[in-house]
Amino acid sequence: MAIAAWPSGEFGAMGLQGAVKLGFRKELAAAPDEAAREALFQRLLQQAIDRGQALKFAQRRSVLSNSANSRSQCRSAEGRW
């Protein structure tokens, strides 16, 4: 199985804005005012974006490796790039 994405791609179960609104609805509802709620939403959204970026996601999943060894393994397994 292969997954392809632009480096700017994002991985997640749903759109990140919706995921933050649903996943943190209690925390957002507990904010004292609209400005505080928006600030909390933006902070949580940025954290989700940071975790869900394609390159960071791939690195955490050990999909990418900077080692020369992984390149030689790809070459030997496939006989080519």
Render pLDDT for 24-35 as a digit per residue (tens, 0 to 9): 999 999 999 999
Instruction: Tell me how many domains the chain contains.
Output: 1
Do residues 68 and 75 lie in contact, with contact meaning Cβ atoms separated by under 8 Å? no
Looking at the domain assignment, is residue 3 inside a domain? Answer: no
Domain that holds residue 28: 16-78
| Residue 10 resides in a domain | no
pLDDT at res. 24:
96
The residue count of the chain comes to 81
Q: Is residue 1 part of a domain?
A: no
Q: Is residue 73 part of a domain?
A: yes
Q: Does residue 21 form part of some domain?
A: yes
With CA atoms as reference, report the closest residue to 24 among 48, 6, 54, 2: 48
pLDDT, average across residues 5-9: 68
Residue located via tokens 């006989």? 79
Q: Say how far apart CA 32 and CA 38 lie, in whole Å.
A: 11
Does some domain include residue 2?
A: no
Please report the pLDDT score of residue 22 as a whole number: 94
The whole model's pTM is what?
0.58
